[in-house]
Homo-oligomer: A and B are copies of this chain.
């Protein structure tokens, strides 16, 4: 006989909260301005999400889910070289519409470096969850050579994104990415270079 629960209310609220935090940042987030932007009250946020920390955890998880969803849109199957994977990733994530989410990622990353317990598992996942799929596209995915190539790909990628967010100098950074991809391409097709460092790695 009671009013039935409406789960869409919380989901819709969370979705708009993610947009707000992508736009305004996390470190200076305050519940009252957030609630006002969402045309609701701070008390309602507590009702639906619990404490502020719980809300932040939900927002970050939702942001991560958006990233995963966007990744699944990409077609990364088949025999792709590291350079080809890198090019696809760069084309996708350097798009301006992802910039707010990328900024949120870096902001949480920096905050998590200070206090890991505030964002349990975030840093570990931020590295390992990307490293593993990158390794999977390489020959001998569990070898040290694949792990090193994946690390170069991921970390270079992150560095370029940091640069792009700060300068928006797309011409310079695109040129650097292309050069970097050519370097990756050569490292893969000239295994004697990588074998210099990983004599044990199967080719």
Task: Classify the interface of chain A: helix, strand, loop or mixed.
Answer: helix
Q: Determine whether A39 belongs to the interface, using a CB cutoff of 8 Å to chain B.
A: no
A162 at the interface (CB under 8 A from B): yes
Chain B residues whose CB sits within 8 angstroms of the CB of A160 once the complex forms = 155, 159
How many chain A residues sit at the interface, stated as a range, is 35 or more
Q: Given A172-B147, A193-B182, do A103 and B107 touch, yes or no (CB 8 Å)?
A: no
Question: Chain A 107-138, CB within 8 Å of chain B: the 1/0 string?
Answer: 10111111100000001101100000000000
A180: chain B residues at CB < 8 Å are 152, 156
Q: Which residues of B contact A61 (CB under 8 A)?
A: none
Report A20-40 CB contacts with B as 1/0, cut-off 8 Å. Answer: 000011011000000000000
Q: Which of B126, B151, B165, B183 contacts A113 (CB 8 A)?
A: B165
